[in-house]
Structure 1
Amino acid sequence: MEKSYKILLFDLDGTLSDPKIGITKSVQFALARMGIKEENLDHLEPFIGPPLQQSFSDFYKFNDTQTQTAITYYRERFSDVGMYENTLYEHIPELLEELRESGFKLVVATSKPTVFAEQILKYFNIHHHFDRIVGSNLDGTRTAKTEIIQYILHQYSNPPKEDFIMIGDRKHDIIGAHNTGIDSIGVTYGYGSLDEITTAAPTFIAESVLELQKYLLINASIKV
């Protein structure tokens, strides 16, 4: 069935860029300040994508106070160097430019605080492609992907939900799309496993940036 998406929501970490070093080293730093030693950064990959509040609680059983303390330590390093220990996935700049020139509105929908997302996108010089950049708040509110997507939907003048699609690499992106009634694309080149993405049941699965580009530009022809 032909689609006619007009507003494309992109996750940031694991979808537009590979933030592994910056995020895992900042988590490692926070854990060390909390008295926990973790030398293997690979063990901290599950922190890429979900809200930090959820990850520190789920993986280290921190209570609310401990979680907030750990997030403060994390941000201490992340805001200084961690956000720049990051690389764009190959073909992302070209994809964004072509999508924008084709008439799509592009939006970043990330659980990362908006202020950090804005700085990262400016660092990569891709911020100008986006109509909006929406993340969480520094006070810990609006961290769930469902809340973020719903906030974005409210920023537009009641277009049909068929105009929107969420693109991300973790189940949280797909679940957020389901919860808000929009389509979704799960990408498998990021940090969610194929099993995680498949189980979440997105509208489409893209194994590469080029496959994502093909789906959006050819299979989902825009009508403007």
Structure 2
Amino acid sequence: MGKYQNILLDLDGTILDSGPGIKKSVQYALDHFSLYHQPEEKLRRFIGPALTDSFMRVYGFSTEQAEEALSYYREFYPTNGIFDASLYPGMEECIKTLAEHGKKVILLTAKPIFFAAQITKHFRISDYFFLEIGTELTERDSSKVHLIEKALRDGNLKKEECLMVGDTKYDIDAAKEVGIDSVAALYGYGSPEEIANANYSIQKPLDLRSLV
């Protein structure tokens, strides 16, 4: 295996197809604003980015409305949405192989770590991670740039040995801004156009092994 020793993996849309639970939870929040039966195309845009940003971007909510919507989302998600998801085929084998070959596999998600840690334990992959990086429930800055920088500090990682794997522009653009290489997960929720600037791309999780 090559120069990349530290593999930073996005959660939603990269490790996990978490779309069903997230979309149901977003719709529950939108119901409180009389936005019923929203189209799939809009709901899927909430998978990956920070939720408050998505409520503002997709529906034009004010900051206050977005915070209120987030509180409704969190009423529903912990009991009805969090485990309504599935690992992408081959992902567990991929993570396990990387860890067994001495790679530092790092979870890097804009999701609150309170939820993310429950998810990795539920799907029995938590033991493979060197670090699990997410946001705090009260944290304002959930940008991927902030999270990558936190991973670099907490793990004492060298940028040139890091590889960010994600399915949206938020992952790929953040990696570029911080100065690390990236992999576009084409099987996730982002469009191929928005992640075209990645250094590499993969069609399925197991393809990652040949890059590192």
TM-score by length of 2: 0.96
Equivalent residue for 1:192?
190
- Partner Cα distance (2:111, 2:40) in 1: 19
| Cα displacement (A) at 1:12 | 0.2
Q: Which amino acid aligns with 1:175?
A: D
Counterpart position of 1:70: 69
Paired residue secondary structure (2:138)? coil
Residue 77 (structure 2) pairs with residue 59 (structure 1): no
Q: Displacement of 1:53 after TM fit? A: 1.2
- Partner residue of 2:211? 215
- Report the Cα offset of residue 38 of structure 1: 2.4
Assess if the C-alpha contact under 8 Å between 2:12 and 2:18 holds in 1. yes
Distance in 2 of aligned mates of 1:53 and 1:3: 38
Instruction: Report how far residue 193 of structure 1 moved.
Output: 1.1
In 2: Cα distance, 1:211 partner to 1:146 partner: 25
Structure-2 residue corresponding to 1:222: none
Q: Deviations over 1:181-211 (max 9, x none)?
A: 111111100001111111xx11111111122
- SS of equivalent to 1:108: strand
| Cα deviations by residue, 1:25-71 (Å, 9 ceiling, x for unpaired) | 00000000122112433431011011001100011111111111100
User: 1 CA distance for matches of 2:106 and 2:121?
Assistant: 14
Q: Is the aligned partner of 1:33 residue 2:36?
A: no
C-alpha separation in 2, matches of 1:151 and 1:135: 9
| Match of residue 160 from structure 2 | 162
Percent of aligned positions that are identical: 37
Residues 82-114 of structure 1 show CA distances to partners (whole Å, capped at 9, x for unaligned) of 011000000111111110000001110100011
Contact 2:2-2:211 within 8 A present in 1 as well: no
Stretch of structure 1 that moved more, 203-212 or 64-73: 203-212
**How big is the shift at 1:161?**
1.1
Runs of 4+ in 1 over 4 A off after TM superposition: none
Distance 2:94 2:63 in 1: 40
Paired residues of 2:152 and 2:158 also in contact (CA < 8 A) = no
Contact persistence 1:11–1:173 (CA under 8 A) = yes
Which digits, 9 at most, give the CA deviation of each residue in 1:159-180, with x for residues without a partner?
Answer: 4311111100001001110111
Unaligned runs of 5+ in 1: 217-224
Number of residue-to-residue matches in the alignment: 212
Question: Residue type matched to 2:181 in 1?
Answer: D
One-letter code aligned to 1:153: L
TM-score scaled by length of structure 1: 0.91
Counterpart secondary structure, 2:12: coil
- Aligned pairs for 1:127-142 within 5 A: 127-142=126-141
Conservation of the 8 A alpha-carbon contact between 2:93 and 2:206: no
Displacement of 1:23 in angstroms is: 0.4
